[in-house]
Amino acid sequence: MTLSRRRLLLAGTIGLTALATAAPAMAADADSDDWTESFMTRAETREGFALDAMDDWQVENARFIIAVCKGHDISAHGTQIVLATAIVEAWLYNYQPAVDLDSGGLFQQRPSAGWGTESEVRHKKKAIDAFLGLGDHSSAPGLLDVAPDYDDWDLGEAAQAVQQSAYPDRYAEQASAAETLWERYSDEVKSFTD
């Protein structure tokens, strides 16, 4: 594995031993599509979102969302709804600590609202499936439940129909970023159905 400048700086700060220990838990190789259970359940920090300054975890999470949506035959527009929601809710991190009551994960889903258990809302594949309305573990209505004709919906309205956010306008603000991510990664990412 090659070390990026960021990782080299990290190594100097936290020590080479810590870096060696953390290496297996880092994001999957960008060329491999080897989505491990460790990748799907790793806790991440929330540092911010800038489309052209995404870190490895944000890139891999965007790619994984695309892979899972492809595995469910979700259209480009539907996938962009999912991407924009994950940007707004957790800046494309699998956010571990609850910042809003019991919310967590890529979509800040709440166990108390029927999205699954605390560990399920923080499991990336299960969280994406739940958002889509395809998770057996979730009783909350997902995208295919509230907007089965999602291709005819405005991105922001579809995301809001699922999320029921107190800030409904934020999803549409990320439509351009979601489209860019789709254009950047969709051709290289394979379907994920596991």
pTM of the model: 0.79
User: What does the pLDDT read at residue 35?
Assistant: 86
The helix (H) or strand (E) run that includes residue 98 is none
Instruction: Give the single-character DSSP code of 194.
Output: -
Tell me how far apart the alpha carbons of residues 73 and 79 are, in angstroms, rounded to a whole number.
10
Contacts of 58 (CB under 8 A, 6+ apart): 49, 91, 92, 93
User: What does the pLDDT read at residue 89?
Assistant: 93
Residue 42: helix, strand or coil by DSSP?
Answer: coil
Tell me how far apart the alpha carbons of residues 113 and 141 are, in angstroms, rounded to a whole number.
10
Q: Show the tokens assigned to 18.
A: 């810590």
Tell me how far apart the alpha carbons of residues 105 and 113 are, in angstroms, rounded to a whole number.
14
What are the Cα distances from residue 155, in Å, to 22, 36, 88, 126, 193?
Answer: 37, 30, 13, 22, 24
Nearest to 90 by CA among 122, 120, 67: 122
User: What does the pLDDT read at residue 101?
Assistant: 79
Residue 109 bridge partners (DSSP): 104
**What pLDDT tens digit does each residue of the chain (194 aa) get?**
333 433 333 333 333 333 233 333 344 444 568 888 888 887 776 567 899 999 999 999 999 999 999 999 999 999 999 999 999 999 999 877 656 678 899 999 999 999 999 999 999 999 999 999 999 999 999 999 999 999 999 999 999 999 999 999 999 999 999 999 999 999 999 999 88
Specify whether the CB–CB gap between 106 and 94 falls below 8 A. Answer: yes
Residue 79: helix, strand or coil by DSSP?
Answer: helix
